[in-house]
Chains A and B, each alone.
Chain A
Amino acid sequence: MASQRSSPWRPKAIKREDWFFEETGGEMLVYNLERHRVHCLNDTAVRIWKLCTGRRTINQIAAELPMALHPRSRELVVRNAIGQLTRLGLIEANDDGPHISRRALAKRIGIGAAAAVALPLVTTIVAPTPAYAQNCPNISCSPMMACPSSCGPCGPNPPGPTPAKCTTHP
């Protein structure tokens, strides 16, 4: 059981100088410059991340969370958040116990879908390339016209990465 482990690990948040952090309405947006990923940490995830100072144990972090849950459930919530944040490189990695998925967490602590919004959540998207964001109408692709290298796959809805040359229209 997670509570029996009484882990001495004191998770420490990493705030990378070369990444961009912006806070908005309790949430936090993180731009990972190496992998061009944008992460959105919800309120609970931000709160846990900020409590990871390297001085508090998981139990102590759990105790500071303003959640009306059993202490053991709170610890599971913290472990889940720390698992997600470690994978993103926002917390120093430490192989301390199994990570628990969000769905399994909701099931184990026995909360419904409505209350699950309060669980820690990190949403990640890939920052688009200009070609992916752009509108590339197929009218520009014809034997007469060179398909510009910056142009994504022709058609109304570019589905994937940018090909060097347009091949969908003869």
Chain B
Amino acid sequence: MQKINRLGWAEGTWFSSYGVNIGIRASQCGAIERLVPFLPPRWESIEFPRRLDMLYSWVVGGERNPNMRTFDVLYANAERLARTLRPSQLFEELARDLRMKLAVLSRRFVFIHAGVVGWQGRAILLPARAGRGKSTLVEALVRAGAEYFSDEFAVLDRSGRVHPFAKPISVHRSAPSKGESLSVEAIGGRTAEHPARVGIILVTRYQMGARLRFREVSPGQGVLDLIRNAYAARSAPSQVLRAARNACTGAILLRGLRGEAQQVVEPLLRMLDGWPDLHKNSHVKGDLCGVPEKFAMASQGD
């Protein structure tokens, strides 16, 4: 780190996002302005903090003279993240690493790898690993009128409410492929501005031709589903456990396979339309509550 500190730094800035303090410095004046579009949602400038969680250092490359081109190099603390002749690659890497560091370092919030949308004041969480069709389902739900929270993180506070993390939606049209970024506005959606309580947690994955069939699970199993996808499960287990438990309390918890995203959208949203009534019957021990039956009826009706 001392070696990096000794390089000449022309400018620097500090910001905070989801309770994580981050610094960025660059070797050229005016360079940091180019990074602004790649900073995480809800970032705000701060004075030099007492505690800095991460420091990114960008050695700006480019053409010094017609015969010489130097690399752009990006460090996260003392670790070299990227060395490239294409700054766009460096920006993408910075954005990806920033999101990752927020998810791991945030102590005020618990980050779960999940797609999230809002409907009727309640959030629908879709926790899953990458490649399970989260973003596709989120996109379909947003097109159907749901509020967009995130296609990557469910950001839970201690009381279990979900906060928006509105990055552009990444859609992989053909896997494995480079993701295409879609802005929510471009697909006619709107971004949520306020936190919401969890209405449904649905653990599902796409399987070609699968018939829509979900089953309800117990609150304990719901918590396990969230922990399976939690970034700080090992570093902050008590916070993760508590936030996950609070998120599952009173929510409808479902698991199952799905076919095409369109098949799921309407039944899922319809389930939250009647949420207060369904909630009264939810988690009745020893027998299935009314939710799966209603859900099955809704899906057959389509």
Contacts and interface: CB of A to CB of B under 8 A. Distances in A.
Contacts of B234: 36, 127-130
A22 B81 contact: no
B262 interface: no
Interface in A7-28: 20, 22, 24-28
Interface string B194-234: 00000000000000000000000011110110011111111
Given A27-B218, A137-B179, A146-B82, A158 B129 contact: yes
Interface in B96-124: 96-97, 100, 103-104, 113
A40 B223 contact: yes
B185 interface: no
Determine the main DSSP class of B at the interface with A: mixed
Q: Which of A22, A28, A33 is most buried by chain B, counting CB atoms within 10 A of its CB?
A: A22
A49 interface: no
B227 A125 contact: yes
Contacts of A101: none
Interface string A141-162: 0101110111000011110000
A140 B130 contact: no
Nearest to A157: B131
B130 A118 contact: no
A125 B80 CA distance: 33
A69 interface: no
A145 B85 CA distance: 10
A123 interface: yes
Interface residues of B, number: 54
Contacts of A129: 234
Contacts, number: 143
A38 interface: yes
A53 interface: no
Given A22-B245, A145-B89, A156 B233 contact: no
Given A125-B224, A130-B104, A148-B97, A24 B219 contact: yes
A150 B100 contact: yes
Question: For this complex, into which size category does the number of interface residues on chain A fall?
Answer: 35 or more
Q: Which of A33, A123, A129, A144 is most buried by chain B, counting CB atoms within 10 A of its CB?
A: A144
Given A130-B231, A130-B232, A144 B85 contact: yes
Q: Which of B84, B96, B220, B248 is most buried by chain A, counting CB atoms within 10 A of its CB?
A: B220
Interface stretch (B2-10, B33-41, B170-178, B267-275): B170-178
Interface stretch (B23-31, B235-243, B291-299): B235-243
Interface string B59-91: 000000000000000001001111111100100
A22 B219 CA distance: 12
Contacts of B82: 144-146
Contact of A128 (B80, B85, B230): B230
Q: Which of B85, B93, B233 is most buried by chain A, counting CB atoms within 10 A of its CB?
A: B233
A43 B85 CA distance: 59
A135 B152 CA distance: 8
A141 B176 CA distance: 13
A137 B223 CA distance: 26
Contacts of B129: 133, 135, 157-158
A156 B249 contact: no
A57 B292 CA distance: 41
Nearest to A36: B234
Contacts of A117: 286
B277 interface: no
Given A25-B249, A29-B223, A134-B130, 4 more contacts: A38-B224, A123-B220, A146-B81, A155-B176
Interface of A: 20, 22, 24-29, 31, 33, 36, 38, 40-43, 117-118, 123, 125, 127-130, 133-140, 142, 144-146, 148-150, 155-158
Q: Which 5 pairs between the two chains have the least Cβ-Cβ distance?
A: A156-B131, A27-B220, A135-B130, A127-B233, A25-B219
